Structure 1
Amino acid sequence: MDILKPEILQIGKRMYRLNSYRNYSQIANQKHENDLKSYVEEDLYSEDEFEEREITFKNGQFEYSFHIPSLFYSHIIGTKGTTKKRIESQTNTRIIVPKLGTQGDITVLGKSRSNVNSACRKIDLVVLASRSKIPSTHFVNVPFNNTAIMESYKRFRNEVITHQNLTGLDPNFFIQPEKLHLTLTVLSLIDDNDRLMASQILNECEKTFIRQILKKNDGEIYLHLKGLEIMNDDPSSVEVLYGVVKSEGLQEIADGILDLFCKNNLTQRKTDNVKLHVTLINSKFSQKDDDNTQRRITFDAKDILQKYIDYDFGIQKLHEIHLSQRFSTGSDGFYEATSILKLY
C-alpha cells in the first residue's frame, strides 16, 4: 500500500485513515485476534459533530446500548481483552460485552456523553474493519432482466461464442441472462438484525431522497444498457467484461444508497461514485485448483471490444431496487430477494 494514500474507512460522516504497514482491516481474518494491535487515529472531533445516539443518563453516568452481531464480540474484546481495555482507557469508559455464546446488546458507560460517543465510534471501527474482511452475503442491485434486454444479451452471447478469433473465452464465463444486474454495493450481513437493518435502510432511501430524484426526472428514470467496458489496461488479458449503463438520475440514486449504507456502518466507501455497469462476462470464479484455491483466468477481449464496443442491449425503466442474497436463485431465475424496494 502507498503510504501517501492510506486505506480510508468511513464511519458515519467522518473518514478515518488506517495505518498502512499494520492494516487494521486484516483483523477479520484472524481467528484468535493476534493482529488487533493496529493503530487507529485519535478522535479529534468536537461533540457537536458526533452522530446522534440516544444516550441516556442513569445512576450518575451516561449509558448507550446497541446491537453488534456476536461474531464480532471477540474482535471487540481482543486477545486477553487488549482491544476492549485500550478503547476503555482512551475514552475513559466501561464497555460491557455479552459473554461468548450469548446474545445481547453491547453497553458503553461513561461520565460524559462525548466519551460514550467516542467509545462507540471506536467500536464501530473495529466492527466495520472486521466486517469488510468477511465474504459478502448480500448485495444491493438494480435487476436488468426484462425480456427485451435478456433477448438482446442472448444474441450478443451467441454471436461472441461463435466468433472464431477468441482466445481463452469459455462459454461458461457468460452471466446467465436472468441474473443480469447492476450492483450498487455489497454487504456482509451476519444475523437477522443485520438483514432487518439493511432492509430498513433501503426503504429509508426511498423516503429520504429517491422520491425527490424521481420527481426531478418527471417521475420516471430510464436505464440504457449500451456499450462495453473493461477495468484493466490490457484488452488481451481480461477477467471481466461490462456493459455500460447510461441514465439521468440513476447515478444520484446509486451514490445516495451507498452513502446511507456507509453512514449506518454496513459497508465502506472504496470509490468516489458507484460505477454504473452490468457484468456480462466474468471468468474470476469459473475454475479452482485442486486445493480449492482460486486461479486467475483471463481471456482475450480485443476482438469483442472492436466489433461490439457500441452494442445496444436496450432500455428499461427503473422499477425496483433489490437487496439480494449472493449465490442464490429464485423462482424467476434471478437472485433470492431479502427485500425489494418497488418504485412504481
Structure 2
Amino acid sequence: MMSDILRPHLVWIEGRCYRVNDHSIEVTSLQEHDSYENDTYDDEYDEGGDEDVEVVMMDSSRYRSSLHVSKHYLGSIIGKKGAMKLRIQRDTNTELKIPKQGQDGDVVIYGPSESSVKAARRRINIIVMSSRMKQRATHFISIPMNSPDVVKRYEKFEAEVLRDCPSRGLEKSIFIGGQKLHLTLGVMCLMDNEERSIASNLLKQAKNEVIMPILLEHLPLKIRLKGLSYMNDDPSEIDVLYGLVEEEGNTKGLIQEMSDAIVDFYYRAGYMEREHGRENVKLHVTLINSKYRSKSDTPHVDDQGTRARQPRINFDGTEILEKFANYDFGVVELNSIHLSQRHSTGPDGYYQPTCVINLQ
C-alpha cells in the first residue's frame, strides 16, 4: 500500500533506527527471516546510537561484550537445536556464550572486531524485542486519577448508574473502582528484575530529558476528568466505557505532548510498541470494563463438551451516555507518574508501583 511506502515501519535496536523493507514480514517473526539483516533492514534511517555499547578489547584480534537477556528469551536466541545461535555466529563471525538452563549470567559475545560484536548484539536485540512483543504486558506507565474528590464523584456516578440505568449487562463488578482510576500511557512486558530495573531507570531518565522540559513552566498541572466515550461503534454493545481528560487553564495539549514523548522514549529503547501503530497516545480513563465481570462458578463448556474460557459479555451503555454524557468527575493535580504492575494492588488500593517519579 502507498501508505506503507510513505510511512514505513521502523524499529529501534541499540539506539539505531531501522526501516523494515519487506512489509509482509512482522516484527515478531524477524528472527525467522532468511535474509535477516541484509534484506529486512535499511540503514537509511540509521541514526547511529550504539556508541554507548561497551565493547572491551581483549587483545589486538579479540573483542568482547556482554548484555543481559532474560532467561525467558534465551531459547529464542539459541533456536531449535541451536540453529539460531549458529546462524548469528556465522553471519557476524562471532562466538556466543549463553548461560545454560538454571544458570544466571549475561550473554557474552566474542569477536575479531568491535563492529562484528556490535552486529551480533543487534541481532540478539532484534530477537529479544520480537519475543517481548509477543508476550502479554506485565507493566504500564500510568498517571493516577484518584484524588479524594474524583473518587467521591466516581462512587456517586457508579451508584447513580446502577440505580437509574438498569440496562443489559450492567453490574457492580465491571466498575473499575475509584482508587484505581488512571491514565494509561503505554504498556510493556518486563520479565525479570533486571528488566524492571532498566524500565525504572528509563522513567527517571525520561523525567529529565522529556517530561520536565514539557511541564516545568506549567506545574502544578491540573487535569479535569469530564465526559464519557467508548471503544467501539455501537453504544448498545460496549466493552469499555471511559472518561475524557483535559487540562485546566491555558495549557491545552500538554498531556498529549508529554504522553507521546514518554511512549516514544520507551519505543526508542526497545521496551514499548506504539498502541495499534498510533502516533499519538489515546488518552482515556477507564471507568467500566466488561472484562472485570464476576465469573460464574459454573465452568463454560463449548459445543464439543470441552471446558473453555467464558466468553466476554458486553453491556448496553445507551442510557449511561444519554444521562451522564457530560458528567464532571473533578480535577486531579499531576504530582507523579508511575511504572505500575498489572493485576497487582498496593496497600493504598492503587496499582503496585515498580517505580514512581515525583513532579513537584
TM-score by length of 2: 0.84
Partner of 1:63: 64
Partner of 1:32: none
Given residue 257 of structure 2, which amino acid in structure 1 is its aligned partner?
E
Residues 24, 38 of structure 1: 8 Å contact kept: no
1:193 to partner: Cα distance = 0.8
Partner of 2:176: 175
Deviations along 1:264-314, one digit per CA (max 9) or x if unpaired, are 222222321222111100002434753352523211122222222222111
Please state if 1:263 is matched with 2:265: no
Of 319, 323, 326, which aligns to 2:335?
319
Partner of 2:304: none
1:122 to partner: Cα distance = 1.9
Partner of 1:121: 122
Partner of 2:28: 25
Partner of 1:45: 43
Cα distance in 2 for partners of 1:21, 1:44 equals 15
1:141 partner SS: strand
Given residue 75 of structure 1, which amino acid in structure 2 is its aligned partner?
S
Residues 223, 246 of structure 1: 8 Å contact kept: yes
Please state if 1:305 is matched with 2:321: yes
Partner of 1:142: 143
Deviations along 1:42-75, one digit per CA (max 9) or x if unpaired, are 3432886242312222222332211111111111
1:233 partner SS: coil
Cα distance in 2 for partners of 1:123, 1:73 equals 10
Given residue 203 of structure 2, which amino acid in structure 1 is its aligned partner?
L
Please state if 1:293 is matched with 2:309: yes
1:143 to partner: Cα distance = 0.6
Given residue 284 of structure 2, which amino acid in structure 1 is its aligned partner?
H
What are the residue-to-residue correspondences of 1:80-119 with 2, within 5 Å?
80-119=81-120
1:117 to partner: Cα distance = 2.4
1:135 to partner: Cα distance = 2.4
Change over 3 Å in CA distance of 1:147–1:274 after alignment to 2: same
1:177 to partner: Cα distance = 0.8
Partner of 2:198: 197
Cα distance in 2 for partners of 1:50, 1:299 equals 48
Q: Which runs of 5+ in 2 are unaligned?
A: 301-306
Cα distance in 1 for partners of 2:339, 2:103 equals 28
Change over 3 Å in CA distance of 1:296–1:20 after alignment to 2: farther
Given residue 181 of structure 2, which amino acid in structure 1 is its aligned partner?
L
Residues 18, 41 of structure 1: 8 Å contact kept: no
1:165 to partner: Cα distance = 5.0
Cα distance in 1 for partners of 2:230, 2:354 equals 30
Residues 185, 258 of structure 1: 8 Å contact kept: yes
Change over 3 Å in CA distance of 1:332–1:303 after alignment to 2: same
Cα distance in 2 for partners of 1:55, 1:275 equals 40
Cα distance in 1 for partners of 2:311, 2:139 equals 24
Change over 3 Å in CA distance of 1:160–1:221 after alignment to 2: same
1:123 partner SS: helix
Change over 3 Å in CA distance of 1:237–1:20 after alignment to 2: farther
TM-score by length of 1: 0.87
Cα distance in 2 for partners of 1:8, 1:296 equals 34
- How much is the aligned-residue C-alpha RMSD, in angstroms? 2.8
Cα distance in 2 for partners of 1:216, 1:263 equals 26
Partner of 1:31: none
Partner of 1:339: 355
Change over 3 Å in CA distance of 1:269–1:108 after alignment to 2: farther
Partner of 1:252: 257
2:215 partner SS: helix
Change over 3 Å in CA distance of 1:8–1:213 after alignment to 2: closer
Change over 3 Å in CA distance of 1:18–1:133 after alignment to 2: farther
Cα distance in 1 for partners of 2:112, 2:165 equals 73
Deviations along 1:233-291, one digit per CA (max 9) or x if unpaired, are 12221110111111342222212221222222222223212221111000024347533
Cα distance in 2 for partners of 1:146, 1:153 equals 10
1:336 partner SS: strand
Cα distance in 2 for partners of 1:306, 1:112 equals 67
Residues 175, 279 of structure 1: 8 Å contact kept: yes
How many positions carry a matched residue from both structures? 335
Residues 241, 287 of structure 2: 8 Å contact kept: yes
Given residue 286 of structure 2, which amino acid in structure 1 is its aligned partner?
T
2:43 partner SS: coil
Partner of 1:273: 280
Change over 3 Å in CA distance of 1:223–1:164 after alignment to 2: closer
Cα distance in 2 for partners of 1:15, 1:147 equals 46
Residues 169, 316 of structure 2: 8 Å contact kept: yes
Deviations along 1:145-200, one digit per CA (max 9) or x if unpaired, are 11011111111111111124522222211101111111112222111111111111
